[in-house]
Chain A
Amino acid sequence: MNTLRRILALALKELLAILRDKKSRFVLIGPPIAQLLIFGYAATFDLNDIPLAVYNEDRSAPSRELVARIAGSPHFHLVSIIGRDSQIAPLIDNREALMVLHLGPRFSANLHRGGSGHAQVIIDGRNSNTALLALGYLRAIITDFNIGWAREHGAQRPPATLKIRPWYNENLLSRWFIVPGIVGLLTLVVTTVVTGLSVAREREAGTFDQLLVTPLRPVEILIGKSIPGILIGLIEGSLILIVAVYWFEVPLRGSLGALYLGLFLFLLSAVGIGLMISSLAVTQQQGILGAFLFLVPAVILSGFATPIANMPEVVQQLTWLNPMRYFLVILRGVFLEGDSYGLLLDQYWPMAIIAVATLALAGWLFRHRMN
């Protein structure tokens, strides 16, 4: 009974310490929401309005139809029609056009004769991902055109056809992939910063030693110090979830309970890491720096923007230590794939282990790191 009362008193004191200051209150609420809105819109791999230039030497009906189809697609935006070879390089070099479509003078003649018309495209490869995606869009339009042409001109059908169907994200909207990721990203940042300073602040002020000589046992201090971080993380996470579902309209198909179990374990491990950093730090500056040095790799190596499967083996093994990688799978699994507890077991237990290990270490450091 006393234990509970002591823990609650400490948790309350911690919460007050964080929320009393107007500036810290603002830092907790303002930037995350602003970042969610900005990043939710900004972080997309989908391309629209790809600047396109056309160099059509052919000027007959089929080539004009092909150009009209491409320019009329929402993915492309015709910025320039050119008439000379020498105009291509400056357009691409200066990034005025991402691609130049070049149809030679014999394009229609070849097509009508029963051969192939050649559509040459020059693409700016400085961003290889954009180049590949733009090429994919163009390829789809040309495939469509070819099917139509074959039907109208009685050509034979190909022996086999390919039908690709994406599941879980039928229209391949990258927002559906990124926004659930932002839930994890911002929750991690807020929780780590809040807890990363909690011990360091008291050490700097000298009140931590006083705390240690109170009847509170280290375990009770640990729990009391963890509660505010988890509470703030839960509230913040829920807020961001609401925005993701109602503002960005990402479908939430799976079990909300499975999502919250994941969020809770994720917060436990983030709080554990934050407290561990905080107990290692002597000053707040070291606390901030430590939190930062954890956050940057944790975000980059989590699969938030680029897939973990693309990383070299050694780096992939490093990501096993990162709680965010598991939580991202849970978020996307529950949001898009409609997962429930069963399929997510392999994500729950590593986070639980990270949480237990880091919390235990933080508790040990409370007493054994004295200056």
Chain B
Amino acid sequence: MNPAAARRMRLTGMIRKESLQILRDPSSIAIAFIMPVVLLLLFGYGVSLDARKVPLAMVVEQPDANSASLVGAFRHSEYFAPRLFTSLQEARQAFDLREVFGIVWLRNNFSNRLLGQGDAPIGVIINGVDANQARITGGYIQGVWQAWLADYARGRGLTPRVPVVLEPRIWFNAAVRSHNFLVPGLIAVIMTLIGAMLTSMVVAREWERGTMEALMVTPIRIDELVIGKLAPYFLLGMGGMLLSVVMALWQFDVPLRGSFWALTATSALFMLVALGMGLLISVVAKNQFVAGQVSIIVTFLPAFILSGFIFSIGSMPEPIQWITHLIPARYYVAILQSLFLAGDIWPIMLGNSAALAVMMVVFLGLARRRFHKRLDA
């Protein structure tokens, strides 16, 4: 038998063995197909930065037409659910009990000042504990106030005069839905988990049971072993990935503006990086316990916090920004957010893909080397 044919035979044999193992042990199929669906459903609905129907206390000390029109403006906004109070004390009580997120306070001289000298004060207190939510809510309150001012002036036949008018154009996500960027990011986080989990747990088990040694005494080469191990899991992972993309498009209505083939190519690259990471963990760790623990430490929380999926990397201190370069999910998040919302932006796709390719070579190369050492030992 010539060497090429022998090689092919060993490789197909290896892949066949791995595939059979997967088919007979449904746990890896569950990890690849059920986990992405469950996690994406849970997180897709669970993770949202869009405030809506924020409970707001409105203190109106002297009800009249003017205060009623301002309350009406808040009531008609989709962002607020106002509750009326007649004194600040009662509102404070609800605020302390966290029943309302903020207080809008119209004093009894509100109408007098409004009709007289102007500058009628509208006092607003918001709960600043969640700074991000407070900022966003503050922005919405300003929006309601400005719209009300314009309405009020129009009602009196005046043209409101604002020196500089801000005209924002929000590209790629005109409705500013946080789902549109969170769901692609979640795909990256979930795929990091699944890719690493698939290989790290499964391969570590083989070391522990001693079946890896059995494999090593066969004529199979290291490269064939690595490829044979990865190929079936790669297919499984890509299947899970496809499911996630389908859900993002039809369940969460995220637009896909880039091309499908670019998505497939970059996803395949990322899947290889994630699997390579899992393989490396499993080869380095001596047992399932350490492999499992290391996978938890290096995958979930870093992918969640350091990938730019929710916290933007540009705002982190310089040294932390360097650390994020070690997180594969960071590159994939950047690619996915652009692919889904903006289109095939080549400079972003090429730069980040190059980084992923480097990581893939490093992970697989290290895993291969450690395999080798094991054989010698």
Given A45-B135, A66-B164, 7 extra CB contacts under 8 A: A42-B320, A116-B164, A125-B171, A128-B177, A136-B136, A168-B127, A285-B205
A66 vs B45: C-alpha distance in the bound complex, in angstroms?
A: 41
Given contacts A48-B315, A300-B43, contact A161 B48 (CB under 8 A): no
Does A35 lie within 8 Å of B301, measured CB to CB?
A: yes
Does A149 lie within 8 Å of B130, measured CB to CB?
A: no
A164 vs B50: C-alpha distance in the bound complex, in angstroms?
A: 20
Does A296 lie within 8 Å of B201, measured CB to CB?
A: no
Can you list 15 A-B contacts with CB-CB less than 8 angstroms, sorted by A residue number? A27-B297, A47-B315, A93-B345, A94-B348, A120-B169, A131-B173, A138-B166, A162-B124, A163-B123, A165-B126, A167-B125, A169-B128, A172-B134, A177-B130, A201-B289
Contacts of A312 in B (CB 8 A): 45
List which A136-191 residues lie within 8 A (CB) of chain B: 136, 138-139, 142, 145-146, 149-150, 155-170, 172-174, 176-177, 185, 189
Contacts of A86 in B (CB 8 A): none
Contacts of A50 in B (CB 8 A): 314
Does A121 lie within 8 Å of B49, measured CB to CB?
A: no
Which stretch, A2-10, A256-264, A270-278, A303-311, touches the partner chain B?
A: A303-311
Indicate if B210 sits at the interface (CB-CB under 8 A).
no
Does A162 lie within 8 Å of B42, measured CB to CB?
A: no
Q: Which residue of B lies closest to A155 (CB)?
A: B161
Contacts of B152 in A (CB 8 A): 159-160
Indicate if B3 sits at the interface (CB-CB under 8 A).
no
A283 vs B165: C-alpha distance in the bound complex, in angstroms?
A: 65
Does B132 lie within 8 Å of A177, measured CB to CB?
A: yes
Contacts of A133 in B (CB 8 A): 132, 135-136
Per-residue CB contact flags for chain A residues 336-360 toward chain B (1 = under 8 Å, else 0) read 1100000100000000000000000
Report, nearest first, the 4 A-B pairs whose CB atoms are least far apart. Answer: A166-B128, A288-B292, A125-B173, A169-B128
List which B136-151 residues lie within 8 A (CB) of chain A: 136, 138-139, 141-142, 145, 149
Across the interface, A38 reaches (CB within 8 A) one of B118, B136, B153, B306, namely B306
Contacts of A145 in B (CB 8 A): 163-164
- Would you give the shortest CB distance from B214 to chain A, in whole angstroms? 20
List which A101-153 residues lie within 8 A (CB) of chain B: 111, 114-133, 135-136, 138-139, 142, 145-146, 149-150
Does B314 lie within 8 Å of A42, measured CB to CB?
A: no
Does A310 lie within 8 Å of B130, measured CB to CB?
A: no
Given contacts A156-B161, A165-B125, contact A174 B132 (CB under 8 A): yes
Per-residue CB contact flags for chain B residues 43-62 toward chain A (1 = under 8 Å, else 0) read 10111111110100000000
Q: Which residue of B lies closest to A319 (CB)?
A: B46
Indicate if B37 sits at the interface (CB-CB under 8 A).
no
A128 vs B132: C-alpha distance in the bound complex, in angstroms?
A: 13
Contacts of B47 in A (CB 8 A): 300, 305-306
Contacts of A126 in B (CB 8 A): 172-173, 181, 337-338, 341-342
- Would you give the shortest CB distance from A255 to chain B, in whole angstroms? 15
A336 vs B128: C-alpha distance in the bound complex, in angstroms?
A: 9
List which B149-188 residues lie within 8 A (CB) of chain A: 149, 152-153, 160-174, 176-178, 180-181
Contacts of B39 in A (CB 8 A): 296-297
A37 vs B178: C-alpha distance in the bound complex, in angstroms?
A: 27
Does A127 lie within 8 Å of B139, measured CB to CB?
A: no
A27 vs B166: C-alpha distance in the bound complex, in angstroms?
A: 52
Does A155 lie within 8 Å of B311, measured CB to CB?
A: no
Q: Which residue of B lies closest to A37 (CB)?
A: B320
Does B131 lie within 8 Å of A173, measured CB to CB?
A: yes
Given contacts A132-B136, A315-B45, contact A292 B141 (CB under 8 A): no
A92 vs B288: C-alpha distance in the bound complex, in angstroms?
A: 46
A368 vs B162: C-alpha distance in the bound complex, in angstroms?
A: 74
Given contacts A128-B180, A167-B127, A174-B131, contact A299 B297 (CB under 8 A): no
Indicate if B26 sits at the interface (CB-CB under 8 A).
no
Does A301 lie within 8 Å of B149, measured CB to CB?
A: no
A20 vs B201: C-alpha distance in the bound complex, in angstroms?
A: 24
A216 vs B292: C-alpha distance in the bound complex, in angstroms?
A: 31
Contacts of A218 in B (CB 8 A): none
- Would you give the shortest CB distance from A197 to chain B, in whole angstroms? 7
Across the interface, B122 reaches (CB within 8 A) one of A31, A123, A163, A305, namely A163
List which B187-237 residues lie within 8 A (CB) of chain A: 193, 197, 201, 205
Does A139 lie within 8 Å of B139, measured CB to CB?
A: yes
- Would you give the shortest CB distance from B325 to chain A, in whole angstroms? 13
Contacts of B50 in A (CB 8 A): 128, 310
Contacts of A116 in B (CB 8 A): 161-165
Q: Which residue of B lies closest to A135 (CB)?
A: B168
Does A307 lie within 8 Å of B296, measured CB to CB?
A: no
Indicate if B120 sits at the interface (CB-CB under 8 A).
yes
Does B170 lie within 8 Å of A23, measured CB to CB?
A: no
Contacts of B320 in A (CB 8 A): 38, 41-42
Contacts of B54 in A (CB 8 A): 309
A15 vs B168: C-alpha distance in the bound complex, in angstroms?
A: 59
Scoring A45, A138, A157, A314 by chain B CB atoms within 10 A of each residue's CB, the highest score goes to: A45
Across the interface, B178 reaches (CB within 8 A) one of A35, A42, A129, A337, namely A129
Does B46 lie within 8 Å of A300, measured CB to CB?
A: yes
Q: Which residue of B lies closest to A111 (CB)?
A: B163
Does A42 lie within 8 Å of B324, measured CB to CB?
A: yes
A155 vs B304: C-alpha distance in the bound complex, in angstroms?
A: 50
Across the interface, A306 reaches (CB within 8 A) one of B48, B127, B181, namely B48
A273 vs B128: C-alpha distance in the bound complex, in angstroms?
A: 32
Q: Which residue of A lies closest to B105 (CB)?
A: A163
Indicate if B72 sits at the interface (CB-CB under 8 A).
no
